[in-house]
Amino acid sequence: MAVPRYCPSCLSLAFATSTIFRAAPRRPALLPLPPPQNQQPIQLRPASTNALKYRRKDPAAAQRRKKARSTYLAPDLKNVVQFSLVDAMRYLRASEVGRPPTSSKYELDVRLRTAKNGAVVRNRLRLPHPVKTDLRICVIAPSDSPQGLAATAAGAAIVGEEEVFQAIRDETMKFDRCLCHTDSLPALTKANLGRMLGPKGLMPSVKTNTVVKDVAAAVREMAGASEYRERMGVVRMAIGQLGFTAEEVRRNIRAFVENVKRDMQGISDQTAKEMHEVVLSSTNGPGLSLNGTFGSADADLGDWSAAKA
């Protein structure tokens, strides 16, 4: 520890050797004042009006007038510790151990090099492996018909006709949305389920576009597209659930990053934007900067990344 030096000009102790603490910029010399224990107000000679007119302006104001930055900070990445996707996921999965695999999410932050007052990137995207899939969709169609099978393949929670009607009447079935195939509509109206589903807003009807011909496409559409927008120079979006394998996360990341790149090109005539850094993090985990590679640097663990957490 260096011996602290007393700097008379700024009436403070100056530390020259500390590497982390950078001393505040030296302020211009302040008037020598009596020590603060003096209780009486400071008595100075009343100055002439001329002196007041030409008095030096507050020195701090001169410093305050320095120009604000016009772009967001983009620090040099050569000092950043970066990880491959698999290495990053290993840390994140460890941080999230024991949590339900659909509740913890991975999040991707794409940091851009951009001006502060320009246009922002804003769009919707349907990921190859959607993140928010807890929407339970019920489809009224014969479960063995091609439409019914396609609906199950598209991710509907419950598919069927008579058994579904019975389950709704018994109140054993719980779902968030309900779709109906056009051919099954007469059966549905005959089953008289309006009293059960109507108040919940789940009754399929032509008006709400819940009576459809192509059920599989409707189920996929309903599962929803995730929206993203750029805030303060960063585009953030949930990119996966904890239970996703590394391959799924990689596909999602690729789709998202390519989409963002396309959006940036689209507005490049208004504002120039560049991707600076990509950071993966999770609900309870640290944020890890990705270096763009997939495989692990440490090869002797074997292929664990295909396991579902």
Partner 1 sequence: MVSLPHRMRKLQTRLLAIRLGSGAYILPKDINRIHMRFAPRIEGGHMGPRKFWHHELVRLKYHNPAISMTTDRTARAEDPAVLSVHFTSPTPTQSPDETTSGPAFADSTPAAAQPTERVSTIDMKHRTNAEILDELVRMTKAQAVEATEAEREELRSLEEQRVKGAKDSAKSLEVRARVAREKQLLEQARGELAADAV
What token pair was written down for 37? 């224990």
Q: Does 95 bind partner 1 (CB under 8 A)?
A: yes
User: What's the rounded Cα separation, in Å, for the pair 214 and 181?
Assistant: 8
User: What's the rounded Cα separation, in Å, for the pair 109 and 236?
Assistant: 4
Q: Does 176 bind partner 1 (CB under 8 A)?
A: no
Q: Does 42 bind partner 1 (CB under 8 A)?
A: yes
Q: Does 225 bind partner 1 (CB under 8 A)?
A: no
Question: Of 131-139, 185-193, 209-217, 224-232, which part binds partner 1 (CB under 8 A)?
Answer: 131-139
Q: Does 265 bind partner 1 (CB under 8 A)?
A: no
The position carrying tokens 């970066």 is: 82
Choice from 106, 165, 228, 244 touching partner 1 (CB under 8 A): 244
The position carrying tokens 């504002």 is: 271
Buried b (16+ CB within 10 A) or exposed e, 280-297: bbbbebeebbbbeeeebe
User: What's the rounded Cα separation, in Å, for the pair 274 and 60?
Assistant: 36
Choice from 5, 29, 47, 194 touching partner 1 (CB under 8 A): 47
Q: Does 224 bind partner 1 (CB under 8 A)?
A: no
Cα 54 versus chain centre, distance: 54
User: What's the rounded Cα separation, in Å, for the pair 277 and 234?
Assistant: 9
Q: Least separation, in Å, of the C-beta of 179 and partner 1?
A: 15
DSSP 228: E
Which CB, 206 or 301, lies closer to partner 1?
301
Q: Does 61 bind partner 1 (CB under 8 A)?
A: no
User: What's the rounded Cα separation, in Å, for the pair 219 and 155?
Assistant: 7
Asked if 240 and 129 touch (Cβ cutoff 8 Å), the reply is yes
Q: Does 255 bind partner 1 (CB under 8 A)?
A: no
Q: Least separation, in Å, of the C-beta of 33 and partner 1?
A: 6
Q: Least separation, in Å, of the C-beta of 297 and partner 1?
A: 14
What token pair was written down for 243? 């239970």
Q: Does 44 bind partner 1 (CB under 8 A)?
A: yes
- List interacting residues with partner 1 (CB under 8 A): 10-13, 15, 18, 20-21, 24, 27, 30-31, 33, 36, 41-42, 44, 46-47, 49, 52, 60, 75-76, 79-81, 90-91, 93-95, 97-103, 128-129, 133-136, 155, 157, 223, 241, 243-245, 247-248, 286-288, 301-309
